[in-house]
Structure 1
Amino acid sequence: MRVSTLDQKGQRQLDGLVLDRGFTDKASGRDTDRPQLTELLRFARDDDTVVVHGMDRLARNLDDLRALVQRLTRKGVRV
């Protein structure tokens, strides 16, 4: 999950989902310092599935989205 401000809640992004592990950054989408995204990229492994509420919660723009999805799928992760 990514929420843009500290007072926003991300729970609606997970409504009805049961997850093994969650990663939440509280940062603007244009912010490249996203420690939980870095941790997700390190943690995700073959046969995992990354679930995001919307692609705008994962990436800053289309090029960033392509790079992130390619990085994950090369590791055998489904997005």
Structure 2
Amino acid sequence: MAKGKETVYADRKPALNSERIAHLREQAAAGANRTKLAKEFGISRRFIST
């Protein structure tokens, strides 16, 4: 039986909801330190784009 496009992390809760994503993007656009933002939001710096 083929698994198809199932994800390994199907039961994992998303780290950020849409409200927190908007807040993160707002702060990043304002020039906030990305390392501090990553720690505050519990995510990797890699996921914070410019």
Task: Indicate the TM-score class for this superposition, using the shorter chain for normalisation.
Answer: 0.3 to 0.5
Kindly indicate which of the two structures has a greater share of residues assigned to helix.
2
For normalisation by structure 2, the TM-score amounts to 0.32
For normalisation by structure 1, the TM-score amounts to 0.26
Max radius of gyration: which structure?
2
